[in-house]
Structure 1
Amino acid sequence: MSQKVTRRQFLNYSLMGVGSFMAAGIILPMGRFALDPLFQDQAEGSMITTSVKAEEITEEPVKVDFSFDQQDAWYESEVTDFAWVYRDGEEIIALSPVCKHLGCTVTWAGDDANPNRFFCPCHNGMYEKNGQNVPGTPPRGPLDQFEVGTSDGYVTIGERFANEII
């Protein structure tokens, strides 16, 4: 003997099925978004190996280029940047080339009147060799530092952070 399904039961079953399908369509992407970081591969390291040998670094700051892959949403690109690297005793120091005033690029010995300082050509800003801004010039703070190390004899550059040597 078969049971008859009433119109009311049919409507309840239909609405529950459609409602469940819609709820799953909303909840599953949210769950995936929450759990996605657990399934991502971890970065092997944040240090970028440059083409400059550590033994070549002297007390005179030199421009050291490095490049890394950057991913913005779905777009991946190779970014090229550089740091001013020099040796202070046995320690290797890497400074950011970005001026703290307006974000211009500073150069070492770029001003003939100040050959042993970093110079920002935008507003004649100056920094000492350790990144300290020269009083009376536009920069409001010291140049940032990069984490620096060596790997197989080559200089490695890491994360940028606030200057700690001044």
Structure 2
Amino acid sequence: MSQKVTRRQFLNYSLMGVGSFMAAGMILPMGRMALDPLFQEDAEGDMVTTSVTIDEITEEPMQVDFTFEQEDAWYTSEVTDFAWVFRDGDEIIAFSPVCKHLGCTVTWAADDNNPERFFCPCHNGLYEKNGNNVPGTPPTGPLDQFEVGESDGYLTIGQVVPNQLV
């Protein structure tokens, strides 16, 4: 005795199968996206070693270049950035060169009228040596800092953090 599948049962099975594949096609990517952070390595706190030794750093801010790998979706590139680094007593300070007004690059002692300040050439913005914005100039907040450390006598630079000096 063979069981015959009726037309109604065949359509029912077909629609259920196709519907299941379509639902899985929509739900699986959403589930993967939701769970993906659990499978990623935590990159926060990674420090980049620079070519500057700790002994080279003085009380005068100096530009220190550093290079790191940046991953954007499926593309990995090597990015070169820099920080303004100086000593404040025994502490080493590293400021981000990005102005808080419009994101221009600040320089140290570039303005003849303000030789002991960071200067933003875009709109004549000024910052004190501690990164605090000078009142009456365009910047809306203090310069951000980088985490700093030491590895085998060389300066290491980490993530950007809010200014801790002001």
TM-score past 0.5 threshold: yes
Match of 2:132 in 1: 132
Structure 1 runs, 4 residues or longer, greater than 4 Å off: none
TM-score (norm 1): 0.90
CA separation in 2, counterparts of 1:2 and 1:96?
79
Aligned partner of 2:15 in structure 1 is 15
Partner Cα separation in structure 2 for residue 111 and residue 104 of structure 1: 15
2:162 matched to 1:157?
Answer: no
2:57 is aligned with 1:57 = yes
Letter in 2 for 1:12: N
Instruction: Identify if the C-alpha distance between structure 1 residues 4 and 52 changes in structure 2 by more than 3 Å, giving closer, same or farther.
Output: same
User: Comparing 142-151 with 97-106, which one deviates more in the overlay?
Assistant: 97-106
The equivalent residue for 1:109 is 109
Distance 2:140 2:40 in 1: 40
**How many percent of aligned residue pairs carry the same amino acid?**
80
> Secondary structure of 1:103's match?
coil
Question: Alpha carbons of 1:24 and 1:125: their partners in 2 closer, same or farther (altered >3 Å)?
Answer: closer
Q: How far is 1:52 from its partner?
A: 0.6
Unmatched 5+ stretches in structure 1:
none
CA distance in 1, matches of 2:12, 2:147: 63
Question: What is the aligned-residue RMSD (CA, Å)?
Answer: 1.7
CA contact (8 A) 2:45 2:159 kept: no
Return the offset for 1:138.
2.4
SS, match of residue 52 in structure 2: strand
Counterpart CA distance in 1 for 2:36 and 2:101 is 39
